[in-house]
């Protein structure tokens, strides 16, 4: 008898107990079938059953996210009910401490993924039964709209049921805090430690699923005006007096997600009337039939959008991921004549410079002066480009680096603009304290139209930044592993045998990010800076079994005529750094 055979009786017993308490007939039936096939000795069924019951899905700073299915290690109604009950207990305690006698308020949103609406409604029922004044979004809507509602409705908490750009079989549970439940700079933002630990502890104290009370009614289904309010606020970001150009032909894809109608309405209201939706991807579809992976960063994800752009003669392609908190941009490169998607760092720099220009246009005089003398802060994650820091400093603004993730970026006090290289941009923190692909699209359209009116493209605008601040070129290397232990092994290898150079340039500064610093909490990662200012950051992914390596090189550029050579030199430098990173990792 193998160890798996010996463990099967206990596994089957746990599965039968789960099936008996499962309120969802679909997952209960799926589990019953897995039990039957496992008893018949089908290896794949035993493996699926073992994985579903291999542990309990852990609640962290990203909330919950996993494959849909039965069992404690999957997303299902039992797991969601327990999470909702635990979060309700946390909110009640937190508000009770901060404002005794005040009833907590919470808002719940959801996207169009499988079971999102069910998870959201049951969350609303559990919150209501716990004495929380609860608002439920009127329909499947973008994540930024939920983040907006937390602030606009003066709520203490918010839940967004979404798995963002994950595969179609996944779903998730993202948590926000506001009003009395969190410190001022985090109101309306995603949770960070120690709030995740406190919520997880409350979830752990929840009793049986039968003990969780669901109110039959009593929550408020919000009027569609909540979406209209968001749309008006975001469209109102456009500065038509200072940036009047609106002659821009846009192709937009919501990637089968919930952002299409909202994004088109916002762009139209901001004055951009020539917007063509990618018809094959325009409607919400939880199966994402036209893409292998519903993430604009993935190869092939923008193929239909680029084909549409070529057909209609578009100036720019804008793409949102399925919950519309990210934005991707593609345009025709004037040098090659080919359409190219811009890297997140390129869009991050363009938006940063445009925000500076908007601030200057809205003030009595031009931006500029001593770094940090202007009010407000620009921020980006530590793995993002250093170009934004130079742009901010030149305009007199302070700049901060944060850990990876918008839960950190959005908490920067005095934030004016923040971004991370993974296509996340926060251009209006006073409205949405999170990344927002729709408000970002408005400002991207505004800067692209302004460039076109001057006879340029966004690539020309980017080159102008390089002429002032140096050409910043970045790349990434992701190493997927089957065994998570390999991530620790590779990180340990680097700590024991630290590289002495990258791309032929000696390492002059090294930081083990696990030790933390005055400005950054500890995180598992290593940062190297070489003599020629090349930077390498290596860290395990927080959401996938990957080791991620972020590379950046800087080339000085004296004139526009030097840009082609500088680009070639930067690419060669990146290739050299990549080779040394692979060697250091033993690949």
* 235 and 345 together in one domain: yes
Q: How high is the pLDDT of residue 351? A: 98
Asked if residue 244 and residue 194 are part of one domain, the reply reads no
Residue 4: what pLDDT? 61
Residues marked as catalytic:
164
- Whole-angstrom Cα distance, residue 33 to residue 18? 13
d(CA 527, CA 510): 6
User: Residue 38 falls within a domain, yes or no?
Assistant: yes
Answer whether residue 222 is part of any domain.
Answer: no
Which residue is associated with the tokens 């092939």? 300
Domain boundary among 445, 469, 493: 469
One domain, residues 465 and 515: no
**Are residues 495 and 428 part of one domain?**
no
Whole-number pLDDT of residue 372? 54
* Residue 249 CB coordination number (10 Å): 15
C-alpha closest to that of 234 among 442, 534, 454: 442
Q: What is the pLDDT of residue 167?
A: 94
Interacting residues of 379 by C-beta distance below 8 A, sequence separation 6+: 399, 400, 401, 402, 409, 412, 415, 417, 418
Peptide bond into 309 cis (omega under 30): no
Total domain count for the chain? Answer: 4
- Closest residue by Cα to residue 408 from 195, 197, 186, 178: 186
Quote the pLDDT of residue 143. 98
- Write out residues in the chain with pLDDT < 70, as ranges: 1-6, 363-373, 543
* Beta strands 133-136; 105-110: pairing state: parallel
| Cβ–Cβ under 8 Å, residues 568 and 492 | no
Residue 183's domain is classified under what CATH number? 3.40.120.10
Res 368: pLDDT? 43
- Are 508 and 568 members of one domain? yes
Q: Which of 513, 555, 559, 552 is nearest to 529 (CA)?
A: 552
Question: What's the pTM?
Answer: 0.94
Residue 131, classed as helix, strand or coil, is coil
Residue 505 shares a structural domain with residue 390:
no
Q: Residue 587's pLDDT is what?
A: 82
User: Is 449 inside a domain boundary?
Assistant: yes
Instruction: Select from 469, 502, 521 the last residue of a domain.
Output: 469
Residue at a domain's end among 160, 182, 210: 210
The reply to whether 7 falls in a domain is yes
DSSP letter, residue 212: S
Q: How far apart are CA 509 and CA 486, in angstroms?
A: 26
Same structural domain, 16 and 94: no
Specify whether 205 is located in the same domain as 241. Answer: no
Residues 512 and 396 in one domain: no
Residue 482 belongs to some domain of the structure: yes
- Those residues whose C-beta lies under 8 Å from the C-beta of residue 55, and which sit 6 or more positions away, are 72, 73
Tell which residue, 283, 276, 447, 470, has the closest CA to residue 355: 447
Where in the sequence is the domain holding 34, given as residue range(s)?
3-52
Answer yes or no: is 220 within a domain: no
For residues 483 and 465, state if they share a domain: no
- Report the C-alpha gap between 391 and 2 in whole angstroms: 62
b/e map 488-513, b = 16+ CB within 10 Å: eebbeebeeeebebbbebebeeebbb
Judge whether 309 lies within some domain. Answer: yes
Task: Check which CATH number belongs to the domain holding 506 and give it.
Answer: 3.30.310
Question: If you search the block for the tokens 């096939």, which residue do you land on?
Answer: 37
Q: Are residues 38 and 98 in the same domain?
A: no
Do 187 and 254 share a structural domain? no
Query: Looking at the domain assignment, is residue 59 inside a domain?
Result: no
Provide the token pair at 263.
């994004």
- How far is residue 7 from each of residues 1, 33, 47, 54, 135, measured CA to CA in Å? 10, 19, 12, 11, 45
Q: Residue 373 has what pLDDT? A: 64
Strands across the sheet containing 535-540: 471-480, 546-555, 535-540, 526-530, 505-512, 501-502
């Amino acid at each position: 008898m193998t160890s798996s055979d010996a463990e099967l009786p206990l596994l089957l017993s746990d599965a039968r107990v789960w099936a008996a308490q499962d309120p969802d007939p679909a997952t209960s039936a799926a589990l019953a079938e897995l039990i039957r096939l496992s008893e018949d000795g089908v290896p794949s069924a035993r493996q699926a059953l073992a994985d579903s019951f291999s542990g309990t899905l852990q609640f962290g700073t990203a909330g919950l996210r996993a494959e849909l299915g039965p069992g404690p290690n999957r997303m299902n109604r039992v797991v969601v009910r327990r999470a909702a009950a635990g979060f309700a207990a946390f909110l009640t305690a937190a508000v009770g401490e901060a404002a005794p006698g005040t009833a907590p308020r919470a808002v719940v949103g959801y996207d169009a993924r499988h079971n999102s609406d069910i998870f959201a409604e049951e969350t609303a029922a559990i919150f209501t039964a716990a004495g929380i004044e609860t608002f439920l979004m009127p329909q499947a809507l973008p994540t930024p709209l939920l983040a907006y509602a937390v602030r606009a409705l003066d709520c203490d908490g918010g839940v967004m049921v979404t798995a963002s750009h994950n595969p179609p079989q996944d779903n998730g549970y993202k948590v926000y805090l506001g009003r009395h439940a969190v410190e001022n700079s985090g109101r309306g933002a995603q949770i960070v430690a120690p709030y995740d630990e406190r919520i997880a502890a409350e979830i752990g104290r929840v009793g049986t699923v039968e003990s969780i009370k669901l109110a039959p009614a009593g929550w408020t289904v919000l009027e569609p005006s909540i979406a209209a309010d968001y749309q008006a606020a975001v469209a109102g970001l456009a500065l038509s007096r200072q940036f009047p150009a609106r002659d821009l032909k846009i192709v937009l894809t919501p990637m089968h997600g919930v952002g299409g109608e909202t994004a088109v309405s916002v762009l139209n209201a901001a004055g951009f009337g020539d917007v063509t939706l990618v018809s094959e991807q325009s409607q919400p579809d939880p199966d994402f039939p036209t893409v292998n992976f519903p993430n604009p960063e993935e190869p092939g994800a923008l193929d239909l959008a680029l084909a549409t752009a070529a057909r209609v003669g578009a100036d720019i392609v804008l793409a949102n991921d399925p919950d519309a908190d990210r934005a991707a941009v593609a345009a025709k490169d004037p040098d090659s004549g080919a359409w190219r998607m811009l890297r997140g760092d390129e869009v991050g720099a363009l938006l940063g410079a445009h925000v500076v220009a908007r601030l200057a246009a809205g003030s009595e005089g031009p931006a500029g002066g001593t770094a940090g003398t202007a009010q407000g802060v620009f921020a980006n994650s530590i793995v993002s480009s250093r170009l934004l820091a130079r742009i901010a400093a030149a305009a007199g603004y302070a700049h901060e680096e944060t850990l990876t993730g918008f839960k950190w970026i959005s908490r920067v006090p005095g934030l004016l603009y923040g971004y991370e290289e993974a296509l996340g941009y926060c251009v209006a923190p006073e409205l949405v304290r999170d990344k927002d692909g729709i408000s970002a699209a408005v400002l991207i359209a505004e800067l692209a139209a302004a460039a076109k009116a001057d006879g340029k493209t966004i690539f020309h605008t980017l080159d102008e930044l390089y002429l002032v601040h140096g050409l910043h070129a970045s790349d990434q290397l992701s190493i997927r592993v089957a065994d998570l232990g390999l991530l620790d092994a590779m990180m340990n290898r680097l700590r024991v045998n630290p590289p002495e150079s990258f791309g032929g340039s000696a390492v002059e500064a090294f930081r083990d990010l696990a030790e933390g610093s005055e400005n950054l909490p500890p995180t598992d990662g290593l940062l190297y800076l070489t003599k020629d200012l090349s930077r390498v950051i290596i860290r395990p992914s927080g959401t996938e079994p990957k080791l991620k390596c972020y590379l950046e090189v800087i080339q000085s550029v004296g004139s526009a005529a030097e840009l082609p050579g500088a680009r070639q030199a930067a690419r060669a430098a990146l290739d050299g750094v990549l080779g040394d990173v692979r060697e250091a990792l033993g690949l």
